[in-house]
Amino acid sequence: MSVNTANAKSPPRKLLSLDCSPRRDGACAAMTAAFFEGLPGDFEVARFDAFTQNAEPCDDCRVCFDHNRCKHSDLDEFFAAFENAGIFLIATPVYNMSVPAPAKAVTDRFQRYYNAWKSGVAGDDALIVPQASQKKRAILLTASGSNEPDGARHIAQMLRRLFTVTDTELIACFDVFGTDHKPVDGAVLEDIRRFARTL
């Protein structure tokens, strides 16, 4: 996890990004770079790399039925950043209709929020994650090697479900296709840049 604090007069807005590709020069990297080029400078950014982190998978131990936490501490910093962030950016390649395995481990670990809500251990905080003062906005960037759209759609659907108990809304998806045959379309990168400027 790396944290970059921008110089700004008012308190910084917070953004957490989850980079899910193992490639530093791939399609997701190009899309993420475009996003950060457009992002206003007053954001405090926390970046989290799924492959580097290699999070423990959820093993359904059910500790989170009785406690508002996970038994594994490896994602404590990530979840604290998630709870504090106003914006959550996820950039992922499509691997067999889903996200790569290390990123899937991260998404499965969100089960702690669902179980806390279901069992009531988080009380009134369960629907609105404690430190978040307003609805969190999520943005999804996907890259598919093929022209098949189902993988990107499936990931968006998975995230919408994941976010139901964390008061988070998936507000935008940018999907690129055919990356096994051509570079990412510059027009899409410009769309991402332009969108990020509006945040």
Q: How far apart are CA 145 and CA 179, in angstroms?
A: 4
The answer to the question of residue 151 lying near ligand FMN (CB under 6 A) is: yes
Residues 90-129 that bind ligand FMN (CB under 6 A): 93-97
The answer to the question of residue 146 lying near ligand FMN (CB under 6 A) is: yes
DSSP state of 186: H
* Sole window of 23-31, 64-72, 120-128, 163-171 interacting with ligand FMN (rule: CB under 6 A): 23-31
CA atoms within 13 A on the CB side of 121: 15
Instruction: Report the nearest approach of ligand FMN to the CB of residue 197 (Å).
Output: 23
Encoded one letter per residue, x for contact with ligand FMN by CB under 6 A and - for no contact, window 169-188 reads ----------xx--------
| DSSP letter for each residue of 32-89 | HHHHHHHS-TTEEEEEEEHHHH-PPPP----HHHHSSS-S--TTHHHHHHHHH-SEEE
The answer to the question of residue 23 lying near ligand FMN (CB under 6 A) is: yes
Instruction: Report the nearest approach of ligand FMN to the CB of residue 93 (Å).
Output: 3
Instruction: Report the nearest approach of ligand FMN to the CB of residue 180 (Å).
Output: 5
